[in-house]
Chain A
Amino acid sequence: MALPPLDSPQWNSSWLAFGWGLRSVTQTILTLVLFATYLGIGALAHDTHFSLLWALCSTLFVWAGPAQIILITTLGSGATIIQSAIAVTVSAIRLFPMVVSVLPLMRTPTTKRRELFFAAHLTAVTLWVECHRFLPLVPRERRIAFVNGLGFGLVSVCLTANTVGYFLAANLTQTLGAAILMLTPLSFLFSTARNSREAADVVALTLGVLLYPLAAKMNSGVDILVSGLAAGTIAYGVHWWREVRA
Chain B
Amino acid sequence: MSYAQLIGDWQALAVLFVAGVVPNQIWRMLGLWFGGGLDEGSELLVWVRAVATAILAGVIAQIVVEPPGALASVPDALRYGAVGAGLVVFLLTRRSIFAGVVTGEVFMLAGKWWLG
Interface residues of B in 1-33 (CB under 8 A from A): 1, 4-9, 12-13, 15-33
Residue count of chain A within 8 Å CB distance of chain B: 105
> Which residues in chain B, 21-52, are within 8 Å of chain A measured between CB atoms?
21-36, 38-40, 43, 45-52
Query: Which A3-28 residues have a C-beta within 8 angstroms of B?
Result: none
The residue from A73, A100, A235 contacting B68, defined by CB atoms under 8 A apart: A73
Interface of B is mostly: helix
A238: nearest chain-B partner, CB-CB: B50
Q: Which of B62-116 contact A (CB under 8 A)?
A: 62-71, 73-74, 79, 82-83, 86-87, 90, 95, 97-98, 100-101, 104-105, 108-109, 112
- Given A187-B97, A192-B56, does the pair A68, B20 have CB atoms closer than 8 Å? yes
A183 and B48: CB pair below 8 A? no
A181 touches B86 (CB 8 A): no
Q: Tell me if A51 is interfacial: C-beta within 8 Å of chain B.
A: yes
Per the bound structure, the CA–CA distance linking A66 and B19 in Å amounts to 14
User: What chain A residues lie within 8 Å of B1 (beta carbons)?
Assistant: 52, 167
Hey, which chain B residues are within 8 Å of A157, CB to CB? Answer: none
B49 touches A30 (CB 8 A): no
Interface pair A94/B46, CB less than 8 Å apart: no
Please report the total number of B residues contacting A with Cβ < 8 Å.
Answer: 80
Name the CB-closest residue of B to A177: B70
Q: Known contacts being A54-B12, A224-B55, A228-B55, is A194 close to B31, with CB within 8 Å?
A: no
- Docked-complex contact A57 and B61, CB < 8 angstroms: no
Chain A, 181-223, CB within 8 A of any chain B CB: 181-194, 196, 200-201, 203-213, 215-216, 223
How many Å lie between the Cα of A70 and that of B23 in the bound state?
12
- Chain A residue nearest to B113 (CB atoms) is A175
B31 shortest CB reach to chain A, Å: 3
A-B contact list, 17 entries, CB within 8 Å:
A33-B97, A46-B5, A86-B23, A95-B28, A99-B31, A103-B35, A104-B39, A167-B1, A182-B108, A186-B86, A192-B53, A204-B53, A224-B58, A224-B59, A228-B56, A229-B51, A231-B58
- If A51-B4, A92-B24, A94-B55 are given as contacts, then 12 extra A-B residue pairs at C-beta distance below 8 Å, sorted by A number, are A33-B97, A54-B12, A62-B16, A62-B21, A94-B56, A103-B35, A182-B82, A183-B101, A186-B82, A188-B60, A190-B97, A207-B54
